Every structure is written in C-alpha cells, then in structure tokens.
Amino acid sequence: AAAVLDRLTGARPVLDHERATVGAVCADPTLTLPRLVRELDAAGVLLLDARLRPPTLDDVFLRLTGDTPVKETAA
C-alpha cells in the first residue's frame, strides 16, 4: 500500500504499524483517492477504510517551514 501511495502522491507515506494505517499528503486528494482505491484493489491489497482529512496545524507548519515543531519542557 505504501509503495502505491508513494507512486501516486510523490510524498513519503506515513506508516503507523500499530494502527495498520498508511497516509500521505497529496495535491488533489479528490482525484488521487479513487485512483488509489483502484490500484490497491488491482494489487490485491485489502482496503478496510479510506478517507480524506484536512491538514492539521502541524501539517501546515511542516509544509511552510520544512522543520519539526519542538515541544517546550517546563524548567
């Protein structure tokens, strides 16, 4: 699934092994999602759920700065 997502979006997929999920950012998800579902089906990958979600504030921060936010610790 990650390889198909990588090829379709050009973005590095985010894997969550604990939840058995994979995700990625794409330019036009409304066009990419149907194609992703078709290609996963053709590859024999069982798809239990597919959904679009709006970007989080962290997603926007990372896209704009290219940097990971640092959590502050109490002194």
Q: Yes or no: say if 48 and 37 are a contact pair by the CB < 8 Å rule.
A: no
User: Distances from the Cα of 70 to the Cαs of 2, 31, 67, in angstroms?
Assistant: 27, 34, 9
Q: Do the domain assignments include residue 38? A: yes
Considering its fold, how many domains does the chain have in total? 1
* pLDDT score recorded for residue 74: 61
Q: Do the domain assignments include residue 7? A: yes
Q: Do the domain assignments include residue 59? A: yes
Tell me: the pLDDT tens digits for 13-64? Answer: 888 999 888 888 888 888 889 999 999 999 999 989 888 888 888 878 887 8
Q: Do the domain assignments include residue 71? A: no
* pLDDT score recorded for residue 73: 65
* Nearest one of 31, 29, 36 to 55, comparing CA atoms: 29
Burial class (CB in 10 A: 0-12, 13-18, 19+), 46: exposed
Q: Do the domain assignments include residue 18? A: yes
Q: Do the domain assignments include residue 10? A: yes
CA distance 57 to 61: 6
What number of residues does the chain have? 75
